[in-house]
Amino acid sequence: GLALILVDDRTQARRVEEVRRDFVVNVSHELKTPVGGLALLAEAIAGAADDPDAVSRFAGRMKVETERLTRLVAEIVDLSRLQAGDLLADMVVVDVGACAEEAVDQARVVAGARTVVAAPAGRPENLRIYGDHDLVTTAIRNLVTNAIAYSDDKTRVGVVTRRVDDLVEVSVSDQGRGISAQDQERIFERFYRVDPARSRRTGGTGLGLSIVKHIIAGHGGSVSVWSEEGQGSTFTLRFPAAVGETRAVGTP
Q: What is the DSSP letter of 242?
A: P
Q: How far is the CB of 194 from ligand ADP (least distance, A)?
A: 3
By DSSP bridging, strand 116-117 and strand 232-240 are unpaired
151 vs 161, beta carbon nearer ligand ADP: 151
Alpha-carbon gap, residue 221 to 13, rounded angstroms:
25
Q: How far is the CB of 176 from ligand ADP (least distance, A)?
A: 5
126 vs 234, beta carbon nearer ligand ADP: 234
38 vs 110, beta carbon nearer ligand ADP: 110
Q: How far is the CB of 180 from ligand ADP (least distance, A)?
A: 10
Q: How far is the CB of 205 from ligand ADP (least distance, A)?
A: 5
Helix (H) / strand (E) element for 225: namely: strand 222-228
Which amino acid, one-letter code, is at 157? V
Alpha-carbon gap, residue 106 to 129, rounded angstroms:
21
Alpha-carbon gap, residue 170 to 160, rounded angstroms:
6
Chain positions contacting ligand ADP, by CB under 6 A: 142, 146-147, 149-150, 174, 176-177, 179, 187, 192-195, 199, 204-210, 233
163 vs 178, beta carbon nearer ligand ADP: 178
